[in-house]
């Protein structure tokens, strides 16, 4: 089981230089956990960047995965993770969703660097 963070979804969808590395690590829909906060973040980004029709298609795809709503257990765990690791609220919810479901987390977000059960695909930095 694997949670895919919003950053990884976006890099995968735009076909960035990380696309191949993400594709190799992207789970099948039956093994892919999608926290509802990821759906929110994806929808916001997609509507802004590519329009509502494509947003609807991607969200429909995520609905065929294992959708995990924010419940009290995840919220309280996220609050603890926020305090422990100084994660932003959405990041803490995403990480808590992974831990609560005994899944790892696929991300391109350096905020998760060093945390257990995290597969970080680093973005390349352009040299000046």
- Packing angle, helices 6-14 and 36-49, rounded to 10: 40
pLDDT for 113 equals 95
pLDDT band at 125 (very low <50, low <70, confident <90, very high): low
Question: Residue 34: how many CB atoms within 10 A of its CB?
Answer: 24
Residues 6+ apart with CB under 8 A from 89: 78, 82
Angle (CA) 26-32-35 rounded to 5° is 120
What is the pTM for the complete model shown?
0.92
**CA–CA gap between residue 33 and residue 63 (Å, rounded):** 10
pLDDT for 128 equals 53
pLDDT for 42 equals 97
**Model confidence over 9-50: pLDDT tens digits?**
999 999 888 988 999 999 999 999 999 999 999 999 999 999
Best CA proximity match to 23, nearest among 124, 125, 121: 121
Residue 123 pLDDT greater than 90, yes or no: no
pLDDT band at 116 (very low <50, low <70, confident <90, very high): very high
């Amino acid at each position: 089981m694997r949670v895919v963070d919003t950053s990884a979804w976006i890099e995968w969808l735009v076909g960035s230089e990380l696309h191949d590395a993400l594709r190799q690590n992207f789970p099948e829909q039956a093994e892919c956990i999608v926290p509802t906060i990821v759906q929110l973040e994806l929808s916001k980004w997609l509507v802004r960047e590519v329009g509502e029709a494509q947003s609807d298609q991607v969200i429909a795809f995520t609905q065929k995965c294992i959708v995990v709503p924010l419940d009290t257990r995840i919220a309280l765990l996220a609050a603890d993770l926020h305090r422990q690791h100084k994660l932003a609220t959405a990041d803490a919810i995403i990480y808590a969703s992974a831990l609560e479901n005994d899944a790892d987390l696929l991300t391109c977000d350096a905020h998760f660097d060093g945390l257990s059960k995290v597969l970080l695909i680093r973005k390349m930095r352009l040299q000046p």
